[in-house]
Every structure is written in structure tokens, then in C-alpha cells.
Amino acid sequence: GQSLEQPSEVTAVEGAIVQINCTYQTSGFYGLSWYQQHDGGAPTFLSYNALDGLEETGRFSSFLSRSDSYGYLLLQELQMKDSASYFCAVRDPNTGGFKTIFGAGTRLFVKA
């Protein structure tokens, strides 16, 4: 089966940098995605890594190491509005890639 592990909670202060880790176990691999979800809201896509290395999009960066089955989301210059849950996700190769499996989510608290 496919599984993902990420910390349940992370707390950081405004202006700081925070890293949210994700390790995965899959029988095949299409890449690692990250989604942000504010309380009561819908998940929104943040980033996708298919190859090893760092992808940067503004204040957010995402890293992947396929040999370690590991990735992380890096948030810089934290703002209060970044308080949300962050999910890493992979596509299940057993379903032809249709099924996206999400980790349990990391709840980020940003303090003033």
C-alpha cells in the first residue's frame, strides 16, 4: 500500500522559516505534491516535485529526495495567514495514478 508520514503539528513565529517533512512509502512513484488547507476551507495546490531537488515558488519551496523517499515543504518569512494545515500527497500507481493519497496533515501555528 501507499502511506505518508508527516508531523501532526508545528509552531513557529511570524517572520521565521519552518520546514514540514514528509516521508512516503509507495509501490511506484509519480511525484510528491503539497496542499494547503485553511480551517473550513478547501485544499489548494501549492507545489509538485517529480525529480530530486528544490522547487521554489515565492516564499514556499518544496524539496524531494527519491532515494530517501522524503520531501519537505519550506515556508519562509512566515505570516499569520500561513496558519493552516499542510498535506503532502502522492498518486497511487495501482489505480493508474487517478487516486491521490494524502498524508494526515501538519497543522502549522504561526505566532506573533
Partner 1 sequence: DAMVIQNPRYQVTQFGKPVTLSCSQTLNHNVMYWYQQKSSQAPKLLFHYYDKDFNNEADTPDNFQSRRPNTSFCFLDIRSPGLGDTAMYLCATSQGAGANVLTFGAGSRLTVL
Closest C-alpha to 105, from 18, 25, 21, 45: 21
Span interacting with partner 1, options 12-20, 29-37, 53-61, 67-75, rule CB under 8 A:
29-37
The residue with cell 518544496 is: 62
CA distance linking residue 22 with residue 43, whole number of Å: 17
CB of 49 to partner 1, least distance (A): 10
Exposed e or buried b per residue across 55-82, where buried means at least 16 C-beta atoms within 10 angstroms of its C-beta: beeeebbbbbeeeebebbbebeebeeeb
- 42 in contact with partner 1 (CB under 8 A): yes
Span interacting with partner 1, options 20-28, 62-70, 75-83, 101-109, rule CB under 8 A:
101-109
CB of 54 to partner 1, least distance (A): 17
**Residues forming the site for partner 1 (CB under 8 A):** 30-31, 33, 35, 40-45, 48, 50, 87, 91, 95-105, 107
